[in-house]
Amino acid sequence: MDIKRLEEEFNALLSDKAGETEYLKTLQDQIVKLKGISHVVKCACGVEYKVELDICA
């Protein structure tokens, strides 16, 4: 392979890594938002329950 082709492949790999890093950051942000979800549900009998999302990693 010539140097030009190797440089192109290297740049493509760097671009892929940057895209993957951004994607993972987005996933982490979504997890933080989901962890903040909680809701109080009132049963027909009058008892209230707090429903929360608990994510264990």
Residue 37 and residue 55 in contact, taking contact as beta carbons nearer than 8 Å: no
Q: Where are the domains of the chain?
A: 3-52
Sequence-ordered list of residues with C-beta below 8 angstroms from that of 38, at least 6 positions apart, any chain = 50, 51, 52, 53
Contacts for 42 with CB less than 8 Å, ≥ 6 apart:
48, 49
- Angle at 38 (CA atoms; ends 36, 43), nearest 5 degrees: 175
Q: What is the pLDDT of residue 35?
A: 80
Q: Which two tokens stand for residue 31?
A: 């997890």
> Mind listing the pLDDT tens digit of every residue in the chain (57 residues)?
689 999 999 988 888 888 899 999 999 998 888 887 888 999 999 999 998 877 665
